[in-house]
Amino acid sequence: MARGTLTIVERRSRVEAAREALAGLGEVLGQASGAELGELMGVVDDVAAQACAARVAVTVEAARRGECTGAGVHGWVREHAPSLRQGGAGPVAALVREVTAADTGLARVEPDPGSPVGLVWAAVTTGTVAAGTATAVLREVDRLAPLLRPEAVPTVTAALVDLATEWGPTVMRRLRPRLLADHGRHGVLDDLHHRLEGAARLSMPHVESADLTEYQLWMTPEQATALEAAIGPLSAPAPNPETGERDLRPAGQRRVEALTEVCRRSSTRDADQAGADGAAGSPAAVHVTITLTDLEHRTGAAEVLGSAATATLLPPEALRRIACDAALVPHVLGTHGEHLDQGRVARLFTRAQRRRLWLRDRGCTYPGCTAPAAWTRAHHLTHWADGGPSDITNAALLCQHHHTTVHRRRLAAHTTPTPDPHGRHVHWDLTDGSYDRHLAHQRKRAPGDPPPRPPTPLHHAHIGAPDHHDDLELWWAELTDDDWTLPAA
């Protein structure tokens, strides 16, 4: 008997036989070869797909006969299909309501084959698409239809069905910009991005002392593109080929450090353009309160003032790093909280000093690092908190990653007036704690004793025509923003 002429009784008999065959299948799987298992999996999958399609078709028939209507469809499905109580009854009921929406009384109106419902229903009845995927496609089409050219709606629906069939419904949203670009009304993609701008925001920080500060960030595609372009290269793993150190930072840590680095570079650049050398003009000025005892003994913590990060506690080593990067104004308190003194500003190295460091160091001075000078900041070899001056002889360029490493491992370095055979003026002691030993040695010296390392002499050049190459470099380093005119040849 041909397949199309089977009666309902004969079909039910075959379905019941298939149910019995599947129920005992696991007992005989050991008899199958590997190839047979693959073939059997395909057959079982086809049966399951057809069973899902038949389940929806049965529910549509019940709804059209009045066995269940409206909100009652969901309950009818749960009652007669117990397996869907675990999930899946809702999509079946929703799809049935879409298919039967055009019915009037006893008159059955099949969906238009070219409409979104008709295209989706055709895929469901053949077992190609499950009910949950079908309803997801219809929801996505409902969102997109007002933004599409009318003639493009069937094309977009068919594309979404194919996409969902191959990859599942979760990937459809990723295709939305491309569909709007190819099939949307004129200017609709621009309007969408414009509306997104109003929803983009960066939350105020949620500050917890001695814990991470939490932000929430929502960005438009354009903003996210700019952010990723800025932090992408900086967040790549950076193993050290010279020392053999691996970059063990997790991806999230590398990304947040890259974002911090971008912000710091921007602050430094703005300060340069504004000609700011101190806290009053620096966009990176940080005010903190700290007790006299903690300041003297490098203990306790400082509390941030005057920004959205107010009440954040900064440990001593963080203060030392900030003193290299930004204008730091310590407000010193007594044992009872009285204001004793507003300390001196921990100035950034001046523009002229940074330019001379660029010329001297050429890039990050940490052994093995190849970060260029533009990616670095000036580090106090003897920390500002320990009385170190902002002088060239007390400075070395470090990238953000190695700047943190140097402070965390407390590493010392010294400079020499002339470069070594590798062209280096800065020489690091990579033994953990070498900075503390160096500082203790410095403090043991009598006032008249010579320093442990010869300082690099500071030369000052007048702005004007240089006589030779060295003076040209010094002339360039000493330039101010108003002096950017080339000297006479």
Rounded Cα–Cα distance for residues 85 and 360 (Å): 73
pLDDT number for residue 267:
65
286 bridge partner residues: 328
Angle between helical axes of 172-183 and 188-199 (0-180°, round to 10): 130
Which mean pLDDT values do the consecutive 10-residue runs of the chain (489 residues) have? 74 91 88 91 92 93 87 91 90 92 80 92 92 92 91 93 87 81 82 78 80 87 80 85 85 90 72 48 60 69 64 66 62 62 57 82 90 84 82 89 87 92 92 91 65 37 34 42 36
**This prediction's pTM:** 0.49
CA 445 to chain centre: 49
Q: How far from 30 is each of 21, 26, 247, CA to CA, in Å?
A: 15, 8, 49
Residue in the block written with tokens 């399609």? 53
| CA dihedral of residues 141, 142, 146, 148 (deg, nearest 10) | 0
The number of beta carbons lying within 10 Å of the beta carbon of residue 136 is: 21
89 bridge partner residues: none
The C-alpha angle 356, 361, 363, rounded to 5 degrees, equals 115
* 345, amino acid identity: V
Q: Residue 302 in 3-state DSSP?
A: strand
Q: Which helix (H) or strand (E) holds 90?
A: helix 89-99
- Could you tell me whether strands 339-342 and 302-305 are parallel, antiparallel, or unpaired per DSSP bridges? unpaired
DSSP structural state of residue 393: G
Rounded Cα–Cα distance for residues 54 and 62 (Å): 12
